[in-house]
Structure 1
Amino acid sequence: MRILVTGTAGFIGFHLARRLIADGHMVVGFDGMTTYYDIRLKHKRHEILGKTNGFRAHIAMLEDKDALAKAVADCQPDVIVHLAAQAGVRYSLENPEAYVSANMVGTFNVLEAAREAGVKHLMLASTSSVYGGNEKMPFMETDLTDAPMTLYAATKKAGESMSHSYAHLWKIPTTCFRFFTVYGPWGRPDMALFKFVKAIEEDQPIDVYGEGKMGRDFTYIDDLVEGITRLVDCVPGQPVTGEGVTDSLSPVAPWRVVNIAGGQPVGLMPFIETIEKCLGKEAKKNMMPMQMGDVRETFADASLLKALTGFTPEISVEEGVSAFVDWYRTDYAKL
């Protein structure tokens, strides 16, 4: 297949593109190369992808509708996977305009491009942050998501809603997937694992928010990519049935939302202990209160993903953190 992936210089987009290419697909990447974090990481990811025969890149911002249209014309995609976004919960407190621009205007341009291209399947990345203030756990795709706690979450929820309207109006088969704390090699420097490893290696203290009484449904990058690649062929149409499964398929559109996570939340302190074990060093800890917009815990119900694909993420935090530390001390050290 021909697949357009937005955000291929990003953490998740890079890994997904590499997997799709390995599976024999032609991938056209689209990325703005923003300087939100160390641009060397982005260039290196694209350099690695560029060494394959199945990849071409277009460098431009999502807000540039003409550039995006050019990339779509170049690819003539069967599938569009929209991963590019302004990420980061905490940064949305500092620069909210970037989130509206990239995550809403940019997503609108992707929707228009998908409509004009007549793609067989449109896939969009969302986030567990849309569950916001929900106290019922585990989070199910059919739970209400009307209480976003950050602008980041609000813009990602807006992307889901806009894509539903396009699926209804233009009959574009659409899957939105909600990510839960994705981590692994080539990850973003603003994420907790990266920050913790860097600080501990440099004998600097780490900030432990929520006094360490937090938990996350961590998802290793290879598991996430496996889930996405399997969902490519799960084009929304017929409802999924089965014991214990509640389908999120829209009653008025070929549209579905799916959690991609293992449903195994890990406490923040055990997570830090795993990092310490992998590094062979103990962290100096600054115990901090909860930050604005943070939630105490994320916990996914992954039964719909299992019903659709036969797959549930299962790579342990111990295995995943070890792989990240190996990458940090080898590949990243050479940048």
Structure 2
Amino acid sequence: MRVAQLARKGPIVVTGAAGFIGFHVASRLMRHGAQVIGVDNFTPYYDPRLKEARFAHLCAEPGFTPIRMDLADRLSVQSLFSDFQPSHVVHLAAQAGVRYSLVDPHAYVQSNIVAFLNILEGCRHFGIKHLVYASSSSVYGANQTIPFSEHSGAAHPISFYAATKRSNEAMAHSYSHLFGLPATGLRFFTVYGPWGRPDMAVYAFTHAIAEGRTIDVSNAGRVWRDFTYIDDIVEGVVRVLATPPCADRNWDGCAADPATSSAPYRLYNIGNDRPEEVNRLIMIIETALGRRALRREVPLPPGDVLETRADVGDLRRAVGFAPATTLEDGVTRFVEWYRHFHGSNTTSETERQTLVAV
């Protein structure tokens, strides 16, 4: 099923539409002609003004219907499905952040467990053709096998955030098995780009370096992440949405996997498959900004791991996913957006040339 055909099937609900990935997914779907019902509750986990700015851009599009709603409210979610009769759901709303889950675990139960159950119930009772939902690379936790594969273990998450996302995968599989709900989970790996989350490394480092503040660097920067540019991620999400899983191989355009043949359920890594050291990321940001970073070396925080790397072979075979954006190009684009959004904060050309030459 082509994305343009998908857009003609009915409205598409995108939850977390004021969030980073949700904003970009909603924008891409509308460019393909889809009617998007964008849902968000604007939690203050980070500055809500950034969420409001994203949402304002979406609201300016004729294909967008904004809904401010707490998905943990069961009756409100029932009304959402009843009122709009969506054909597909992209569920990206969640309480994010490994470290914050040490501070307020109850927020993760409400946003990641209760709200997800409400979404599953809506999909079940209103005949949703495909649910695509956000999981996380954090579910691999204590797994020592690199690259991380969907076919290896994820039974030992080491943060409560990861535990809730692993629970989502189990919940979705049960609904898929019991009720025939086509569901695909995506384990995201360190997404970055314009309109990104301020708590993520690329944004946080850029902001601090631009303002001349010190950045905390874990394990002397000897940490590797599978940084994935937002445009590559969105392309993968939209392709997956247009390719529902199936329990057999008779549905046109579906993705089947004999390992889960009893249910129309799939689980994919979505990442860059080329991990980069954090030290190199910092160097690229320094060059793009024309400023040196002030560093403070700190231990690796609880719940973090030294390396993440996605095995994206299954996703590549299923939908042709092929991330193409280099870290240099992606960070440069992000810094350009950052300057525009926050206002110019630049060094002189002499300082820039000196930095580049060092």
**Range of TM-score over shorter length:** over 0.9
TM-score, normalised relative to structure 2? 0.89
What residue in structure 2 maps to residue 223 of structure 1? 232
What residue in structure 2 maps to residue 119 of structure 1? 128
Equivalent pair of 1:174/1:236 in contact (CA under 8 Å): yes
Aligned residues: 328
Please state if 1:331 is matched with 2:335: no
Give the Cα–Cα distance (whole angstroms) in 1 for the partners of residues 56 and 233 of structure 2: 22
What residue in structure 2 maps to residue 242 of structure 1? none
Give the Cα–Cα distance (whole angstroms) in 2 for the partners of residues 323 and 69 of structure 1: 40
What residue in structure 1 maps to residue 100 of structure 2? 91
CA shift for structure 1 position 249: 5.1
Q: Residues 68-108 of structure 1: CA distance to partner in whole angstroms, max 9, x if unpaired?
A: 22222232111111000000111101111101111001100
What residue in structure 1 maps to residue 148 of structure 2? 139
Give the Cα–Cα distance (whole angstroms) in 1 for the partners of residues 287 and 311 of structure 2: 29
Query: 203, 210, 221: which is aligned to 2:212?
Result: 203
Equivalent pair of 1:3/1:75 in contact (CA under 8 Å): no
Equivalent pair of 1:30/1:57 in contact (CA under 8 Å): yes
Give the Cα–Cα distance (whole angstroms) in 2 for the partners of residues 319 and 120 of structure 1: 36
CA shift for structure 1 position 59: 0.5
> Identity percentage over the alignment?
48
What residue in structure 2 maps to residue 160 of structure 1? 169
Give the Cα–Cα distance (whole angstroms) in 1 for the partners of residues 104 and 29 of structure 2: 33
Give the Cα–Cα distance (whole angstroms) in 1 for the partners of residues 273 and 83 of structure 2: 39
Q: Residues 267-299 of structure 1: CA distance to partner in whole angstroms, max 9, x if unpaired?
A: 110111111111111101111111100001000
What residue in structure 1 maps to residue 55 of structure 2? 46
Partner SS, residue 87 of structure 1 = coil
The code of the aligned residue for 1:195 comes to: A
Larger Rg: 2
Please state if 1:293 is matched with 2:293: no
Give the Cα–Cα distance (whole angstroms) in 1 for the partners of residues 258 and 22 of structure 2: 25
Equivalent pair of 1:86/1:98 in contact (CA under 8 Å): yes
Give the Cα–Cα distance (whole angstroms) in 2 for the partners of residues 217 and 314 of structure 1: 13
What residue in structure 2 maps to residue 265 of structure 1? 275
The code of the aligned residue for 1:99 comes to: Y
Partner SS, residue 266 of structure 2 = strand
Give the Cα–Cα distance (whole angstroms) in 1 for the partners of residues 32 and 258 of structure 2: 28
Q: Residues 27-47 of structure 1: CA distance to partner in whole angstroms, max 9, x if unpaired?
A: 001111111111111111111
CA shift for structure 1 position 247: 4.9
Please state if 1:275 is matched with 2:285: yes
CA shift for structure 1 position 24: 0.5
Query: 6, 17, 22: which is aligned to 2:26?
Result: 17
What residue in structure 1 maps to residue 327 of structure 2? 317
CA shift for structure 1 position 314: 1.6
Query: 166, 187, 190: which is aligned to 1:178?
Result: 187
Equivalent pair of 1:4/1:27 in contact (CA under 8 Å): yes
Equivalent pair of 1:142/1:248 in contact (CA under 8 Å): no
Equivalent pair of 1:211/1:290 in contact (CA under 8 Å): no
Give the Cα–Cα distance (whole angstroms) in 1 for the partners of residues 120 and 343 of structure 2: 39
- Which 4+ stretches in 1 moved above 3 angstroms? 246-249
Q: Residues 142-196 of structure 1: CA distance to partner in whole angstroms, max 9, x if unpaired?
A: 1111110100000000011000000001000110011000001111111111111
Partner SS, residue 330 of structure 1 = helix
